[in-house]
Structure 1
């Protein structure tokens, strides 16, 4: 990545709320009711979007990519999820895009799946009347992997990382050139990008307490972290900017119900990666935080 691109992205995160969207007149819109990404009748173009299409999910769209119903990888150009829309990818999905924009309470939910591309922007709602409440955009990773992206997290956005084991989720290439998603039971969610901008430092004086933390954690597949475990959830290949909202260096990000705390560092890995360290923690300290959510994976997934 050129230096100019890095500086431009940093300038973007420090500016007014993101307004960029995939709004070209050629955008393919979801207008179906059954939620199946692979159903041609669900799309404004009368066909399933392809690599040259911009895709927009809006309003109450609730869309699922199920590998059992179509071919992998799924590839589109730019993807926008906004206006309370939700896109869920089921295990073994491989999603390839150029840019992804999640805003206005949109949700990206990756369930043991992989997403790769250029840029992921998770931005605050553009509705001034929404205030600083809990309505927000976000993405859920449980456990999944995102690779080769620049990641920009706006002020009211939240990332949720799933811990399902001690192995980081990853994409691997076989001898035949096929790409395999290494995830699911035994893995924890990861995100890899050249540039990661977490942006907790905007002027939120008097308001920060009204917002949930910028990072939420969840446990999957019955996994229980133990004292001494470590999870590198974000790898910044070139630069990490700022911190998660409400979580300074060394902060307690969450506790299990058996009082194992997960402490955050932004100086892990090669010095600029986000790492969670599991440590036995006093019950008194853990009582200050809700127990980390346990997620029971549906049998079908």
Structure 2
């Protein structure tokens, strides 16, 4: 008969299961990926902060993505790296620390959707109503959109974790590299029907809203571009929208892979890998893609490097 430990405040993380030969290569991959994410995302936010030419709604709204990437990866990746160097029996975590980690992990995924939704609204106004753009996208509107993106995610994820915290626990093993909601409510021996219903509703509402807003926005932008004979407008729309769409598709593909593989327990190893890559890939590519596509950011970086080349000769 299975031994149960009720409401233990010390949990054991399964961690990332890799062979001995793969431990250090995987550790180095994750470590350098994390450092790259931190440097590039913090760098983008710093550039937008110090350059007045970048104090535009598009860049200010985009700054939500690197902030989200930095926070989301800082909660999960360092802990994952530490656990990789520990034997499985020593991969322990406190219950409340586990809840915070799960909350942050779900906030990361949810905010990725809501931020890209408000960025889509910004592109829609800029291309479909260019003459009214300055009047609509004021500083107050940027603040409202930002607060809405984070506020909606906070409420949705807060309810998700709140329903899990109410459950009594009879197990202590988190069968995941890091804590998430599903791993937490699986520790309970009580009925988790409400958790499953809300989790499914949460996912459907978020994805429907996200996909629906992106499709509707880009459909209207496409109509404007097709009916307009302004080549400069079409070129601008193609550059800014292609960047935003690439970011969205990367995030959607990574997230949907996890949801899909959750339905097939026999592919748990692939699900674990996708869960980790969901944090690593978007966080690594977002600043690179946006930085390469952004004319203003390229200008700032070229000026910065030119000044560094000139200064030694002075």
Say yes or no: TM over 0.5: no
**Does 1 or 2 have the higher relative contact order (CA < 8 Å, sep 6+)?**
2
> Greater strand share, 1 or 2?
1
Q: Which protein is bigger by CA-based radius of gyration?
A: 2
Structure-2-length-normalised TM-score:
0.25
Structure-1-length-normalised TM-score:
0.26
